[in-house]
Chain A
Amino acid sequence: MNSSGIWILAEQKNGQLNEVSFELLNWATSLAEKKQQSLTALVFGDQLSDAELQKLIQRGADRVLHISAAQLAVFQPEPFSACLMERINCEKPEILIAAATTTGRTLLPYVAGKLRTGLTADCTKLDIEPESGFLLQTRPAAGGNIMATIKTPDCRPQMATVRPHAQKPAPLKPGHLGTIERWNPPEELLQSRTRRVAFTPSAEERGVQDADLVISAGRGFKKADNLSLVRLLASQLGAAVGASREAVDRGWLPYPAQIGLSGKTVSPKVYIAAGISGAIQHLAGMQTSDTIIAINSDPEAPIFQYSELGICGDLFTILPLLSAKIAAMKAEDSAKGGSHE
């Protein structure tokens, strides 16, 4: 079992790398340093430009392997897994890290199933065990009530998915050099029994999982009309709008906005929870956010225990005031001719 090399699975859309690709480089750089191994970024797609691939090298990849074919422009499990397995079997990487996106969460377990190896989903911390050199994978379990550290002692590659936004993108490494390889897989690896026949972009400007700032609304909003408060604030701040299940079940916000156990898991830089009590099922989807701000009229609301900043007050007072101040700040800024954006 002579495996070596740290691999990440970068993601792209329409030929542009997604930000999570650079976060993955950040996750993997320290692992590659600790293990003294090279760092390879894999990118599936249809003929990405050198300039785009070079971005991965500028942020730490020693090698970029672009797996390129028209059939690989958007994710389909079978061709992606067939190509990935072919490369894994040829090159025997020791570690493979992907993002816990809809792609990573589908492709990695499929490949792990075929290769008979271990995979740990949704990790919030990765490290190398000093004695053994094994990958230590830490993830929340039981609705975030406990953390478990997991390893894969005997099977290779050791695989993990990590939550988007749980790390910053890797910084630029001036002078870092690397190679770009392009591989056009043979036709037989590109067969797929599934086929994308339509795609409808979401109406929301930004999905909650892509956003650095999420503002979520709960039952405290009392009725659908009041959601305009959170929409206004979100548009001012370029934030995505999230929701508790109570808000979704009442039809105030669509299901794709639901955050929690039976919705999405997010880890933005800042998460604002307004009129949300902080039920364990909601916390399961957002408690790994970098900074949490809660606005709730009930001083006993559990959400406060998970927040950096807890505003105990009426959201119908706080949110309009906040919007007004931000609007005033922006007006002042543009009057001065200097904008922060």
Chain B
Amino acid sequence: MNILVLIKQVPESQAIRMDEKTGTLIREAANSVINPLDLHALECALQLRDQSNEISRLDCLSMGPPAATAVLKEALALGADQGILLSDRAFAGSDTWCTARTLAAGIQQLGKYDLILCGERATDGETGQTGPALAALLDLPVVTFASAIQARLGGWEVRRLLEDGYESVTVNGSALVCVLKEASVPRLPTLQGKRKARQAEVRIINASGLSLPLEDTGLKASPTRVTTIFKPSHFKQCERISAHDPAGAEQAVDRIIHLLCEKGAL
């Protein structure tokens, strides 16, 4: 059996700022990291492989600029067998549909996987749409909000965290699963792993290496368009009460109660 983990390179979260004059994003030359939830997905895959000798291959796939080889090397250091990067200028500006389309073409190229793991969402786009859209394009069943995954005869058993509790679902055959933080505790790379990763090659596939019509790639093929970007006006006029003495504390509590009543919460 083969497992594939999808890994996205994201800027460290605080690194994105906005130029208020021009309304554009400033992506500082900050560290790029593996999307945190993707580390949990990778850890799930590593544990499934540790538990079973039926899993013969664990690959990691990313789509992004050449610099994204760094996150795949990191995945190799943690124990992945192979890192593959889909990279081409033609992919630039992809929205989630287009990203999913490109990843799907990559996966069709790579072969059959019994389990494909994604993070539930990425810290930069925060859409959480890529996984389900990719499953749809590959015609696989999708299981989202996974907090635990186990192999079972002929498929998988996944625990999902819903609004009102935990659901267990079984899947027959291959599936795409999007994982939450609760699904695993990521390990740290070993020295030996790091050494192996330094020597390993990340396989890079460009647009011509995929059977993907050019009209299905990049900005022009993306169904969505960003029309404006602006700074939210979340800096609120905060009413401050200093409650360091008993009188202040009284006043503070009265004010909270008043506000709760006003909002219908009391």
Contacts and interface: CB of A to CB of B under 8 A. Distances in A.
Interface string B212-238: 000000000011111111111011111
Contacts of B17: 145
A325 interface: yes
Contacts of A74: 167
A137 to B, nearest CB: 8
A152 B225 contact: yes
Given A110-B135, A210-B164, A311 B252 contact: yes
Given A262-B37, A305-B236, A317-B249, A201 B165 contact: yes
Interface in B137-173: 137, 141-145, 147, 157, 160-173
Contact of B175 (A120, A193, A209): A193
Contacts of B130: 109
Contact of A306 (B36, B165, B234, B243): B234
A293 interface: yes
Given A78-B141, A309-B255, A143 B13 contact: yes
B223 A308 contact: no
A198 B167 CA distance: 6
B171 A193 contact: yes
Contacts of B164: 13, 201-202, 207, 210
Interface in B30-64: 36-37
Q: B132, B134, B244: which has the most chain A beta carbons within 10 Å?
A: B132
Contacts of A312: 240-244
B259 interface: yes
Interface stretch (B66-74, B79-87, B120-128, B193-201): B120-128
Given A78-B141, A149-B226, A207-B163, A313 B136 contact: no
A190 B242 CA distance: 60
A177 B173 CA distance: 47
A24 interface: no
A196 B167 contact: yes
B263 A119 contact: no
Contacts of B1: none
Contacts of A293: 256, 259
A262 B255 CA distance: 32
B14 interface: yes
A308 B239 contact: yes
Contacts, number: 284
Nearest to A76: B169
Nearest to B17: A145
**DSSP class of A's interface residues: helix, strand, loop or mixed?**
mixed
Contacts of B238: 304-305, 307-310
Contacts of A102: 144-145, 160-163
B239 to A, nearest CB: 5
A251 interface: no
Interface in A166-202: 192-202
Nearest to A192: B141
A341 B165 CA distance: 27
A109 B249 contact: no
Given A255-B181, A317-B243, A152 B224 contact: yes
Contacts of B100: 113
Contacts of B242: 299, 312-313
Contacts of A256: 161
B132 A113 contact: yes
A196 B169 contact: yes
B28 interface: no
Interface string A219-247: 00000000000000000010100000000
B14 A77 contact: no
Interface of B: 13-14, 16-18, 25, 36-37, 95-97, 100, 123-137, 141-145, 147, 157, 160-173, 175, 180-182, 222-232, 234-244, 248-250, 252-257, 259-260, 263-266
17 contacts: A77-B144, A105-B144, A109-B96, A109-B136, A147-B232, A152-B225, A192-B141, A193-B141, A193-B172, A194-B169, A199-B168, A255-B182, A262-B37, A269-B264, A292-B236, A293-B259, A312-B241
